[in-house]
Structure 1
Amino acid sequence: MAAEGASQLGSVAALLGAAVVAIPLFKRLGLGSVLGYLAAGLAIGPFGLGLFHDPQAIIHVAEFGVVMFLFVIGLEMKPSHLWSLRHQIFGLGSMQVILAAFILTLVGMAFGFAWQIAFVGAAGFVLTSTAIVMQVLGERNELNSPSGQRMVSILLFEDLLIVPLLAIVAFLAPADPSHVAGDTSVLKQLGLALLSLAALVIAGLYLLNPLFRILAKTKAREVMTAAALLVVLGAALLMEMGGLSMAMGAFVAGVLLSESSFRHQLEADIEPFRGLLLGLFFLGVGMALDLNVVAANYKLILSGVIALMTAKAVVIYVVARIAKSNHADALNRAVMMAQGGEFAFVLFSAAASQGVITATINANMTAVVVLSMAITPVMIMLHQRFAKAAQASMDGVDNLEAGDKKLKGNVLIIGFGRVGQIASQAPIAYGADISIIDSNPDVVRGAAKYGFKVYYGDGSREDVLHAAGAYQAKCVLVCINDSEATTRIVENIKHHCPTVKVIVRANDREHALHLVQADADFVIRETFEAAMLMGNETIKQLGADELQAEDICDQVRKADHERFALELSGNEFAGRDLLLKNTQ
C-alpha cells in the first residue's frame, strides 16, 4: 500500500516537475505555454522517459480543465450578449463546419480511403481544439475582442455538433442483425439530450442562486469552492448523461450564472483548478503521440497533417473573407483554428468501436490530430513574427494627413485614450478651443459617438504636428502611451516653437527625466498623483488630521523633487526649479 502511494505521489511530482521546467523555458524562447506542455508530455510519456504508460487516462481526467475553461467563459457572457452572437454561432459556425467537412472529406478520398472513412476523419478534424484556441486567446487578452468573439462563437457551434456527428457515425456502422429500431434509438438519444439541457436550464434559473445565498451565509470559503466545483462537474455530468458535450454543459451553467452576484467569487474559486487541469490536458496530449505509429506510417501521417491543415486553413480563410473579415483577421483565424481538436478522439473511438474504421486507421487519425495540435503553437508563433501588422479600417475617419485642412485650436490634445479624455474636460469647461488627434482609427470613430471631433494623425510626425496647429497653439497636451513617440513630439514642438507650453504624460520616472531634458514645460507622471492620494488617505485612516496629512505629503513631494534633481545630473539643470515643481 505504501509503495503504491509512493508511486502515485511520484507520478504527480513528475507531472508538476515537467510543467515547472518546460513552461518557463518555452515561454522564454517565445514558443508559448501550450507547446511547452506538449513537449513536456512527450518527454515523460511512453515514448520519452516512460514515466507514464496510459496517457488516455490522464487526458480523460484533464478534460475537466477544458470544461472549467468553458464555465469561466460562460460567466463572462450574459444571455443578452450570447443572443447577440447568435448569427455568428449558427451562421458563421455552420458555414465553416459544413464547407470544411465537405472539402476535408474530399481530401481523405484523395488519399484512397472510402468515403465513410474519409468523412469520419474529416468530421474529427473539423472540430477545432477548444483548449488550444481558448488558451492562446486568453494569453493574448483577445477573448472579448471582435475577432476573439467570432472564434468563440465557432467553437460553441462545433461543441453542439458532438451528438449529431456521433449519430451519423452510428448510421455509418455496418448493419448489426441484433440491433433494431435504429431510428427509435436516435430519437430517444435526441430526446434525452433535450431533457438534460432543459433540466440544466431550470436548475440554473431557479436553484443555483438560492443555493449560493444559503452557502454564503455560512462564511465558509471552502464550502463555496466545493459548491463551485459541484456546479461545474454536475453540469458536465448532466450533459454527458444526455449524450452532449461536457464542455457545453459547463458553458451553459456559466451563462446562467453570468448575472449572479456570486459570479466573481465563482470565477476566483474555479480559476486555479482550471489552469492546472488545462495544463494537465496538454501534457496528456503530448504523451498520447504514439511515435511507433508515426514511424511506421510517417509518410501517410505527415502528408495527412499537411493536407488537412492546409485545406482547413484555406476554408477558414475563405469563410472569414465571405463574412467580411479583413485579410489579417481571416489569416489569424485560419492559423489558430487549422488543427484538429480533442473531441476528435471521442469521435474516432466511437467509430472504431462500431466498426466504421479499423484500429490502425484510428491510431493513424489520432496521430494526425495530435501532431496538428502540436504544430499549431509553432504556426501561431511564426505567424506573429512574420505576418504584416493588420491595417486598420479607415472608414468614417477624417484623416488629417490626407487633406489640406489645418486645425486652429488654442489647445491641441495628442492622444485621446483614457488620459486624453479626462485631461480634455477642464479645458473644455473653461471654454478653450480644442483640437484633438489620435493615431487609432477605432478611437477616432468611438469618440464621434460622444460628440468629439477627433482627427486621425500620427503626432510624432512633423508634418502632422504642423497640420494639427501645434506650433500656433498656446498649449499642447501629449497623452499617448508610447514613450519614444512622446519624447519625439516634445522635441519637435520645442524645436520649432519654444514658446508653446507642452504638458506631457510620462510613463515612469525614467521617461520623465527624458522629457525634462527635451524641454517639456510640465511633466506629469501618470501614477504619481494617484499614489500620493492613496498615501494621503492611508495616513488619515491611521489618525492623522488634514493638516498633518498635507504636511507629510509635502515632505514626500519635496524629497521626490530633490531625488529627481539629483538624477538630472546637477548643475546643467540647476536653474530649472520651476520645472521640477511641476514634475509630478
Structure 2
Amino acid sequence: MEDALYTATIFLITAVIAVPISSRLGLGSVLGYLAAGILIGPVLGLVGTHEADELLHYAEFGVVMMLFIIGLELDPRALWAMKDKLLGLGGLQIGLTTGAVATACIFLGFSVNVAVATGLIFALSSTAIVLQTLAEKGLMQTSGGRSTFSVLLAQDIAVIPMLALLPLLAMPEALEIATSGAIAEGGHVDEHSRSLVEGLPGWGVTLVTLGAVGSIVLGGLYLMRPVFRFIHAAHLPEMYTALALLIVVGIALLMELVGLSPALGTFLAGVLLANSEFRHELESDIAPFKGLLLGLFFITVGAQIDFNVFARAPGQIIGLTLGLIAIKASILFVLGRAFGLRHRNLWLFTLGLAQAGEFGFVLITFSEQQNVIPAWAAEKYLLIVALTMLVTPLLFILHDVLSKMTSDRSENKEQREHDEVDETGPVIIAGIGRFGQIVNRLVRSSGYQTVVLDNDMKAIENMRSFGVKGFFGDPTRPEILHAAGLREARVLVVALDNMEASIKLVAFARRERPELHIIARAKDRGNVYRLYKAGADDIVREMFDSSLRAGRYVLENIGLSDYEAAQAEKAFYKHDRYAMQELAQLWREDMPLSKNDAYKKRAKSLEKELQDAMLAQLDSDPEERA
C-alpha cells in the first residue's frame, strides 16, 4: 500500500508541476506529461521500469477512453461530408508515409513485418499537440488548418485497424489466428483467461464475434435512451458518471472476451452515440478520467524511455529523427499541392504534421507486447517519437517564418494584378467582410452609389455572384483609392480586418482629404484610440451596438418599460461617446492601460458619472415605469 501511495504521489506531483509549465510555454500538455515521466524516471530515478510497467496496464485504458470520445465527436453525417479529404488526403498520407518508411527500413535491413509495423507507427502525427497549437494560433478555420484536421481525424480512425493488423504481423499463421479469435489487445491468452471464443470452431468464433459487435450496435441505437431515462429518474448526478464508465468498461470487456480490440468496440459505440442527446453528458463524465489516465500513460512512457540508448548512438537517433521529419514533410508537401494548398496553408499542412504522434507510443508499446518489433527497436522508436514531438514547436516557428516570406511575395503579386477601378461614387467602402457587407447593403438600398474595394479575391467573387460589383485590390494603395474617386467622395468607410492597414488608410485619407468624413471599424478600445489619433470621424466598435441592444433587452425583461429601457440605452450611448473622447486624450500607445494612472483615475470618475446619469434618467420619468 505504501509503495502504491508513494508512486501515485510522485506521479501526481510531477504532473501538477510539469504540465502547467509546459502549457504556459506553448508546448502542450502531452510534452508536459512526457517531461514529467522523463524527470522521475531516467533523470531522478524516483520510479523504476518495473513500477512504470505495472502502471502502464492501467494507463492504457486512457487510450480506450480517448477513442470513445473521438467516436462521440464524429457525427456520421459529418464524416460522410468529409469523405473526400478523409479517404483522399488522409488515406494517401497514411499509405504513402507507411510505404516510404517501410521501404527505408527494408533498405536498412529490417524484415518486411517489422518494416510495415514501423511505417504504421511513424505514419501518425500528434493530434493533441497540433490541434492545440492550431487553436492557440487561430489557424483552425484556414484552408491549411481544415486539411490538417482532416488528416489527423483520418489517422485517429486508422488507429483502430492498425491495432487489429499489428498482431498479424507477428505470427506467420495470420489467417488461422484471425479466425481463432486469439488476437486481443494487451497480450496473450493463458489457460486462466476468460474468453467466449476459446475452444470454438472457426464458424463459432465468427458468429460470437459478429454477435458481440451487433449487440454494441443495437444497444447504442435502442437501449441507451431508456437506460438514461431510468438513471435520470434517480436524480443522482454520480449515477451518470457510473453509467458512462459502465458503458466504456463493459464494452471493453466484451471486446476482450471475443478476442477483439477494446478500442475498436468503444470507438464504434462512440460513433453510434454521436447523434444522441446524451453525447455531451457522456463526454463530460468520461473526459476527466480520460485525461488523467492518458496523462498517466504518457508519464509512464516517459519514465520508460532509456536515454542510455541515446547516449550510445546520439548521431544515429538524431539522424533517424530528422530523416523521419524530412520523409513526412516531403510527402505532405506533395499531397498538399496536389489538393490545392498554396503558400502559408501549404507550409502549415507540411510542417504541422511532420512529427510522430502520441498514438505512436500506443502502437510501439502494443507492438512490443505482441512481439511484432524487438525490444531494442521499441526503445529507439520511443526516443524518436518523443524527439519529433519536442521539435514540433520549432516546426511551427519555421512555419511562421515561411508564411511571412510567402505572404510578402503573394502580396506583391496581388499588387501587380489588382483590378482596374473604372467607377467612382460618393461612398467608398474598404473591406467587404460581414461588417462592410451590411454597410454596403444599407447604403445601396437607400439609393446611393458605392465603390467597394477589398484585397480578398474570394470575398469579391462572392459579392459578384450575388450581382454586387466590387474591385479586387489593396485599399491602402494610393493609386487604387484615387481611381475609386477619393478626390470627389463624401464618405470613406474603413471596414478592414487588419487594424494596421486600417490606421494606415485613415491617416492617408485624412492627409489627402481633410474635409472627408471617415467612418472606421474598431475591435476594441485600443483600436478606437489609435483610429481617433489617425483622424477618423466616427469609430464603430464592432461588438458595441449589438451588446448595447442586448443590454436593452435585459432591462426590458427585469422590470423596466420599453420606453425606460430605450432611454437608458440612449443615455448610455451618449455617455460612452463622451467618455471615449475624454479618455482618448489620456491614452498613450507606449503605455499599458494598467500603468496609465491618469487614464485609470479619469475612467473611474467617468464610470461614477455614468451611474449618476443613468439613475437620474430613470428617476426623471417615474410615471412611465410599467
TM-score after normalising by structure 2 = 0.76
Contact 2:73-2:271 at 8 Å conserved across structures: yes
2:78 is equivalent to residue 81 of structure 1: yes
Residue 523 of structure 1 aligns to a residue in which SS? strand
Instruction: Quote the offset at 1:82 in angstroms.
Output: 0.8
> Of 88, 92, 95, which residue of structure 1 is paired with 2:92?
95
Q: Name the residue aligned to 1:494.
A: 510
Contact 1:339-1:369 at 8 Å conserved across structures: yes
2:321 is equivalent to residue 305 of structure 1: yes
Instruction: Quote the offset at 1:76 in angstroms.
Output: 4.6
Instruction: Quote the offset at 1:482 in angstroms.
Output: 2.5
Q: Name the residue aligned to 2:217.
A: 201
Percent identity between matched residues is 33
Structure 2 letter corresponding to 1:312: K
Distance of 1:467 and 1:193 partners within structure 2? 73
For each residue in 1:89-144, what CA deviation from the matched residue of structure 2 results, as whole angstroms up to 9, or x when unmatched?
33333333333223212322333334443333233222334444444444445556
Distance of 1:3 and 1:349 partners within structure 2? 24
Aligned length: 559
Contact 2:167-2:367 at 8 Å conserved across structures: no
Contact 1:70-1:247 at 8 Å conserved across structures: yes
Distance of 1:123 and 1:495 partners within structure 2? 62
Q: Name the residue aligned to 2:159.
A: 159
Distance of 2:175 and 2:571 partners within structure 1? 89
Contact 2:419-2:472 at 8 Å conserved across structures: no
Contact 1:66-1:131 at 8 Å conserved across structures: no
Q: 1:212 to 1:455 in 2, by over 3 A?
A: farther
2:66 is equivalent to residue 50 of structure 1: no
Q: 1:324 to 1:506 in 2, by over 3 A?
A: closer
Instruction: Quote the offset at 1:490 in angstroms.
Output: 1.8
Contact 1:400-1:456 at 8 Å conserved across structures: no
Contact 2:130-2:352 at 8 Å conserved across structures: yes
Instruction: Quote the offset at 1:298 in angstroms.
Output: 3.0
Distance of 2:81 and 2:273 partners within structure 1? 18
Instruction: Quote the offset at 1:235 in angstroms.
Output: 5.4
For each residue in 1:505-563, what CA deviation from the matched residue of structure 2 results, as whole angstroms up to 9, or x when unmatched?
22222322332333322222223323333333333333223343344444434443443
Please list, as runs of the form range in 1=range in 2, the aligned pairs for 1:66-465 lying within 5 A after superposition.
Answer: 70-140=67-137, 142=139, 145-163=145-163, 165-172=165-172, 181-182=176-177, 184-185=179-180, 197-216=213-232, 220-231=236-247, 249-273=265-289, 275-326=291-342, 328-349=344-365, 351-353=367-369, 355-388=371-404, 402-465=418-481
Instruction: Quote the offset at 1:266 in angstroms.
Output: 4.5
For each residue in 1:356-387, what CA deviation from the matched residue of structure 2 results, as whole angstroms up to 9, or x when unmatched?
54332332233333333333333333333444
Contact 2:89-2:151 at 8 Å conserved across structures: no
Contact 1:18-1:41 at 8 Å conserved across structures: no
Q: Name the residue aligned to 1:39.
A: 35
2:564 is equivalent to residue 548 of structure 1: yes
Q: 1:119 to 1:480 in 2, by over 3 A?
A: same
Distance of 2:206 and 2:343 partners within structure 1? 40
Q: 1:485 to 1:350 in 2, by over 3 A?
A: closer
Q: 1:116 to 1:387 in 2, by over 3 A?
A: same
Q: 1:535 to 1:276 in 2, by over 3 A?
A: farther
Q: 1:184 to 1:35 in 2, by over 3 A?
A: closer
Distance of 2:427 and 2:278 partners within structure 1? 46
Q: Name the residue aligned to 1:580.
A: none
> Of 488, 499, 505, which residue of structure 2 is paired with 1:483?
499
Contact 1:288-1:370 at 8 Å conserved across structures: no
Q: 1:547 to 1:248 in 2, by over 3 A?
A: same
Residue 45 of structure 1 aligns to a residue in which SS? helix
Distance of 2:316 and 2:422 partners within structure 1? 64
Structure 2 letter corresponding to 1:44: I
Q: 1:301 to 1:400 in 2, by over 3 A?
A: closer
Instruction: Quote the offset at 1:291 in angstroms.
Output: 0.8
Contact 2:11-2:299 at 8 Å conserved across structures: no
Distance of 2:282 and 2:406 partners within structure 1? 36
Distance of 2:452 and 2:66 partners within structure 1? 42
Q: 1:249 to 1:6 in 2, by over 3 A?
A: same
Q: 1:354 to 1:36 in 2, by over 3 A?
A: closer
Q: 1:214 to 1:141 in 2, by over 3 A?
A: farther
Contact 2:179-2:206 at 8 Å conserved across structures: no
Contact 2:460-2:470 at 8 Å conserved across structures: yes
Contact 1:506-1:512 at 8 Å conserved across structures: yes
Q: 1:530 to 1:17 in 2, by over 3 A?
A: same
Q: 1:561 to 1:148 in 2, by over 3 A?
A: same
Q: Name the residue aligned to 2:616.
A: none
Distance of 1:262 and 1:3 partners within structure 2? 40
Distance of 2:128 and 2:207 partners within structure 1? 29
Instruction: Quote the offset at 1:354 in angstroms.
Output: 5.5
Distance of 1:522 and 1:243 partners within structure 2? 70
Contact 2:164-2:261 at 8 Å conserved across structures: no
For each residue in 1:152-182, what CA deviation from the matched residue of structure 2 results, as whole angstroms up to 9, or x when unmatched?
343145324314532541345xx8xxx9944
Instruction: Quote the offset at 1:457 in angstroms.
Output: 2.4
Contact 1:123-1:165 at 8 Å conserved across structures: no
Contact 2:97-2:328 at 8 Å conserved across structures: yes
Distance of 2:133 and 2:365 partners within structure 1? 27
2:526 is equivalent to residue 510 of structure 1: yes
TM-score after normalising by structure 1 = 0.81
Distance of 1:436 and 1:244 partners within structure 2? 61
Q: Name the residue aligned to 2:618.
A: none
Q: Name the residue aligned to 2:543.
A: 527
Q: 1:444 to 1:231 in 2, by over 3 A?
A: farther
Contact 1:406-1:469 at 8 Å conserved across structures: no
Contact 2:85-2:147 at 8 Å conserved across structures: no
Contact 1:313-1:337 at 8 Å conserved across structures: yes
Distance of 2:227 and 2:283 partners within structure 1? 17
Structure 1 letter corresponding to 2:122: F
2:8 is equivalent to residue 8 of structure 1: yes
For each residue in 1:45-75, what CA deviation from the matched residue of structure 2 results, as whole angstroms up to 9, or x when unmatched?
3434625654455555555555555555544
Contact 1:18-1:44 at 8 Å conserved across structures: no
* Greater mean alpha carbon deviation, residues 516-525 or residues 143-152: 143-152
* Greater mean alpha carbon deviation, residues 517-526 or residues 73-82: 73-82
Contact 1:411-1:474 at 8 Å conserved across structures: yes
Structure 2 letter corresponding to 1:107: A
Q: 1:13 to 1:167 in 2, by over 3 A?
A: closer
Contact 1:93-1:157 at 8 Å conserved across structures: no
Structure 2 letter corresponding to 1:548: E
Distance of 2:268 and 2:284 partners within structure 1? 18
Gap regions ≥5 residues in structure 2: 182-201, 587-626
